Amino acid sequence: MKHTLTLLASVSLLIGCNKPENDKKIQGKVEKEQIAVVSKVPGKLVKIFVKEGDLVHKGDTLAILDIPEVDAKKSQAEGAVISAKAQYNMAVKGATDNQIKQLEAKQKALKEQYDFAQKSIRRLSNMLKDSLVSQQTYDEAFAKYQGAQSQYIAVQAELDDAKKGARIEQQTMALGQQDRALGALKEVETADKERYVIAPQDMSIETITLSVGELALPGYTLFNGYVDNSLYFRFTLPESQLDKVKKGQELSVYVPYKKQDFKGKVTTIKQLGAYGNIATAYPDYEMQESLFEIKITPIDTNASKDLITKTTVTLAL
């Protein structure tokens, strides 16, 4: 019995002696900021210009979608714009040159009829005073005079409208139709640009979710990747160890597979909302303790840019 107790005490002492050494180092992961490129409009994938592992730059075309509905709407919108512009120009400019010539000829003919009727009514007026014509004859001639006068005034107004264009309300309405048609065309052109899937920033392509010929739906992720030059080391600490780190502190992170240390600066300390986000393997913490995410950004980004994401790193505290 004594030997057994002695053995247990020895094992406990051995574990106790070794535990501080393990506690001095915590494990973390190499991480990069993730980015997803999605499609904004539905369409069939007709061309992919990149492959997994490629590094692309902001503005590069990653893929092209076939969107037949947009092509049809674009043709309709272009036709509507042409029609609306013609309507507005006609409202502003008024009649054509030939129409104006016809109205001027009509005005000249009616002017001659009006002048003749005016002369006739003067003569008949004098003759009526001398009882040379009857009142009935004079009244008939006066009615023709008034008719000629009305026709002449009407053709003058018609000619003025033709030269000045349509009334301002009609011009405003035609302008509104033109603006609406231009807006519809701009909307279609914007949708047409969405057939080109563009890299939002410098990034590495990690996964391509669709193949050529497959249908991409709005909001569907086409490409997953990592933002270029966004590498950092991520660790998980319980609140009881937060006194060992502070924002802006420079620390040395060891990368086992490289057998190399990398200098870094603590850039983020924030509480984790879920235990599923724990980065440190086998963390030593009490269940009631809050956990915190520690981000350490390498000081020499060029030296660390080729580190493999999700590999294990250690930090001595």
- Band of residue 280 on the pLDDT scale cut at 50, 70, 90: low
Q: In this structure, are 95 and 130 located in the same domain?
A: yes
Question: Is the separation of the CB atoms in 266 and 295 below 8 Å?
Answer: yes
Residues 223 and 238 occupy one common structural domain: no
Residue that terminates a domain, selected from 190, 216, 247 = 190
Looking at residue 211, the DSSP 8-state letter turns out to be -
Show the beta-strand stretches assigned E in the chain: 25-31, 34-38, 43-48, 55-56, 61-66, 196-198, 203-208, 215-216, 221-227, 232-238, 250-255, 260-271, 291-298, 312-316
Residues 58 and 127 in one domain: no
Asked if residue 176 belongs to a domain, the reply is yes
Same domain flag for 215 and 288? no
| pLDDT at site 22 | 46
Q: Decide: pTM greater than 0.75.
A: no
Give the pLDDT score at 20.
46
**Domain containing residue 132:** 72-190
Rg of the chain in Å (alpha carbons): 44
pLDDT at 282 over 50: no
Judgement on whether residues 300 and 243 belong to the same structural domain of the protein: yes
What is the band of 230 on the pLDDT scale with cuts at 50, 70, 90? very high
How confident is the model over 68-81, as pLDDT tens digits? Answer: 777 667 777 777 77
Q: What is the pLDDT of residue 95?
A: 64
- The number of folded domains in the chain is 3
96 located within any domain = yes
Q: Are residues 178 and 282 in the same domain?
A: no
- 63 in a structural domain: yes
